[in-house]
Structure 1
Amino acid sequence: MKAIIPVAGAGAKLRPHTYTQPKALIPIAGKTILSFIVDQLHEGGITEFIFIIGYLGEKIQDYVKFAFPHITYHFVQQTERWGTGHAIELTREIVGDDEVFVALGDTICEYDVKEMINSPYSMLGVKKVDDPRNFGVAEMGLDGFIEHVVEKPTIPKSNLALVGLYKIKETAFMYGCLKHLFEENIKTQGEYSLTDALDFMIKRGAKFKAFKVKNWFDCGKKDTLLESNATLLKKSGGNVTDSHTFKGTIIIPPVSIAPNCSIKDSIIGPHVAIGANTKIEQSIVRESIIGSYTNLFEVVLDNSLIGSDASVKGLSRSLNIGDNTEIEFG
Structure 2
Amino acid sequence: MKIIVPMAGRGSRLRPHSLTVPKPLIPVAGKPIVHRLVSDIAKVLGEPIEEVAFILGDPAFFGDDVVASLTALAEELGAKASIYRQDQPLGTGHAIMSAAPSLSGPAVIAYADTLIRAEFNLDKDADSVIWVKQVDQPEAFGVVKLNDANEIVELVEKPEEFVSDLAVIGIYYFKDVGALKTELQYVLDNNVINGGEYQINDGIKRMMADGKKFVTGQVDEWMDCGNKKVTVETNQRMLGFLEKDGENMISTSIKKENANIIEPCFIGENVVLKNTTIGPFVSIGADTVIEESTVKNSIIQSHTTIKNANLDNAMIGNHVKYNGNFETISIGDYSVLE
Sort the TM-score into its range (normalised by shorter chain): over 0.9
Whether 1:73 aligns to 2:81 is yes
Whether 1:190 aligns to 2:193 is no
Whether 1:104 aligns to 2:114 is no
Q: Which residue of 2 aligns with 1:296?
A: 306
Q: 1:67 to 1:211 in 2, by over 3 A?
A: closer
Task: Give 1:239 shift.
Answer: 1.1
- Point out where structure 2 has 5 or more consecutive residues left out of the alignment: none
Q: Which residue of 1 aligns with 2:11?
A: 11
Q: Which residue of 2 aligns with 1:164?
A: 170
Q: Specify the code of the residue in structure 1 equivalent to 2:113.
A: D
SS at the partner of 1:34?
helix
- The number of residues matched between the two structures is 325
SS at the partner of 2:10?
coil
CA distances 1:206-264 after superposition (whole Å, capped 9, x unpaired): 00110111100011011111111111111112611233331100111111001111111
Whether 1:53 aligns to 2:81 is no
Q: Which residue of 1 aligns with 2:38?
A: 38
Task: Give 1:26 shift.
Answer: 1.0
State how far apart, in whole Å, the 2-side matches of 1:208 and 1:180 are. Answer: 20
Task: Give 1:91 shift.
Answer: 1.5
Correspondences of 1:179-328 after superposition (within 5 Å):
179-237=185-243, 239-328=249-338
Report if aligned partners of 1:151, 1:195 keep a CA contact under 8 Å in 2.
Answer: no
Superposition TM-score, scaled by structure 1 size:
0.94
Report if aligned partners of 2:253, 2:271 keep a CA contact under 8 Å in 1.
Answer: no
Q: Which residue of 2 aligns with 1:86?
A: 94
Q: Specify the code of the residue in structure 2 equivalent to 1:128.
A: Q
Whether 1:20 aligns to 2:28 is no
Q: What percent of counterpart residues are identical?
A: 34
- Point out where structure 1 has 5 or more consecutive residues left out of the alignment: none
State how far apart, in whole Å, the 2-side matches of 1:7 and 1:57 are. Answer: 10
CA distances 1:139-168 after superposition (whole Å, capped 9, x unpaired): 111012111113334445121111011001
State how far apart, in whole Å, the 2-side matches of 1:156 and 1:93 are. Answer: 39
SS at the partner of 2:258?
coil
State how far apart, in whole Å, the 2-side matches of 1:161 and 1:193 are. Answer: 17
Report if aligned partners of 1:53, 1:60 keep a CA contact under 8 Å in 2.
Answer: no
Alpha carbon RMSD of aligned pairs, Å? 1.6
Report if aligned partners of 1:151, 1:188 keep a CA contact under 8 Å in 2.
Answer: no
Q: Which residue of 2 aligns with 1:131?
A: 137
SS at the partner of 1:181?
helix
Greater alpha carbon shift after TM alignment, 8-17 vs 39-48: 39-48
Q: 1:133 to 1:181 in 2, by over 3 A?
A: farther
CA distances 1:34-84 after superposition (whole Å, capped 9, x unpaired): 111121233333241000000422142121234443331000100101111
SS at the partner of 1:19?
coil
